[in-house]
Amino acid sequence: MSDTLPMPVSTLSKAQRSSILNLVRRAARAEILPRFRNLESGEIDQKKSHQDLVTEADRAAERMIARGLLALFPNALIIGEENVADHPEVLDKVADAELAFTIDPVDGTWNYAHGLTTFGVIVSALRFGTPVFGLIYDPVMDDVVLGETGGPAELVMPKRRKRRTLSVSAGGPVENLQGYLPLYMLPADKQAEMAALLPRFERVLSLRCSAHEMRMLAQGHVDFVLSAGLTPWDHAAGALLCHAPAVMSPCSTAPSTTPPSARLLLCARPATGAHR
């Protein structure tokens, strides 16, 4: 890489963004929805614990999306959640990749495997480790929250041919805030301390699904999302779509330098974090 010549900028055209969305929709119809509430026991495996699951739908959808992205962008680096489990070294290439894509083929796998509809597909495009495009797709409702650098997030409903520009909430004092916090995923020695703070908020929940938690934040329906661990496939798209005004951690798209214990806090507005 030259120290003097600028690197070419990777941008996605409107047609390319549409092709990515159509690819995700096809993968959902072909690999995710047919297996929903129809999984055999042999199609569900544990990863780190019985709370951390992977299904044949995750693997098949990721393979299909990865193939499609490489057909569209032959030189892109593909960062798929399930592939990274077997090849973690690929994360070290993110910061130097002119164009990379992250894929979370079924975010909210525990919900999916247990027959709950709160799951989604997350895809983001990164340029040298920084998100430039992201989408969070709901296969059940067939709609998507998407956006790119410099523009607003939008809710797009393809079947109804409707789209709506989104904005995050205005925030406010702690006692008026609602948000998501995965208490059970925090270190055991921190859970009681965090639980004691929850009554200060108006409402704190967990959907066990970053996709839908980020969608709710992007639409202004909640004021904050706290994630208990950082991964580019879970958080790059959400950070872009919500414009990430408050990130209490290293960059979520720098996994090679991010400690496993890092936390990500996305707030609606800077003022949200100002009321202690």
Residues annotated within the binding site for Mg(2+) are: 81, 104, 107, 234
Binding residues: 81, 104, 107, 234
Give the list of residues 6+ apart from residue 118 with CB closer than 8 angstroms, or none.
108, 111, 207, 208, 209, 212
Residue pair 139/118 in contact by the 8 Å Cβ criterion: no
Give CA–CA dist 143/157, Å, rounded: 5
What dihedral do alpha carbons 196, 201, 205, 211 form, nearest 10°? -120
Task: Give exposure, 26-60, as e/b (b: 16+ Cβ within 10 Å).
Answer: ebbeebbbebbeebeeebbeeeeeeeebbbebbbb
- Provide the token pair at 36: 């929903």
